[in-house]
């Protein structure tokens, strides 16, 4: 799950508003927090730590997806494929995996 989606879900679950978060987060105004929630900006380390404390979750829970999206080993196509896969329902995901597996050379299939 992307950082902005995680933040929106946590905000909804806790009933906090962008204004509430801006008050709790150092160096963050309402416009900045709103940009985080929209995915237009990414909070810095201090802000991530403050967000984690505010929501009562480990900072790693906020950063898991972010770290994988910054993985230099992934190509743009891999990012696009993963994003498309996540938009599919479970049945469609299973069908896509079957197609991908059928395209692998026999020696590399597991």
Give the Cα separation of 104 and 7 in Å (integer): 37
Give the Cα separation of 5 and 9 in Å (integer): 6
CB 6 within 8 A of CB 65: yes
Provide the token pair at 71: 């993985």
Q: What is the tens place of the pLDDT at every residue in 6-21?
A: 899 899 999 999 999 9
* pLDDT at res. 67: 53
CB 62 within 8 A of CB 7: yes
Q: Give me the residue spans of the domains in the chain.
A: 3-69, 76-108
DSSP state of 70: T
Q: Indicate if the pLDDT at residue 69 is higher than 60.
A: no
What average pLDDT does the structure give for the chain?
84
Mean pLDDT value of segment 52-79 = 73
* pLDDT at res. 65: 58
* pLDDT at res. 110: 56
DSSP state of 25: S
- Chain-centroid distance of CA 9 in Å reads 11
* pLDDT at res. 51: 92
CB 18 within 8 A of CB 29: no
| pTM across the whole model | 0.59
CATH number for 3-69 (one of 1.10.260.40, 1.20.1440.230, 1.20.90.10, 3.40.50.2300): it is: 1.10.260.40
- Per DSSP, the three-state class of 43 is coil
Mean pLDDT value of segment 28-39 = 92
């Amino acid at each position: 799950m992307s950082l902005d989606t995680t933040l929106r879900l946590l905000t909804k679950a806790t009933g906090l508003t962008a204004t509430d978060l801006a008050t709790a987060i150092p160096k963050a105004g309402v416009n900045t927090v709103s940009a985080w929630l929209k995915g237009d900006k990414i909070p810095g380390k201090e802000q991530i730590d403050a967000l984690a404390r505010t929501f009562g979750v480990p900072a790693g829970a906020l950063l898991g997806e972010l770290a994988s999206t910054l993985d230099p080993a992934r190509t743009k196509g891999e990012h696009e494929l993963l994003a498309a896969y996540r938009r599919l329902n479970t049945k469609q995901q299973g069908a896509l995996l079957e197609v991908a597996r059928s395209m692998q050379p026999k020696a590399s299939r597991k």
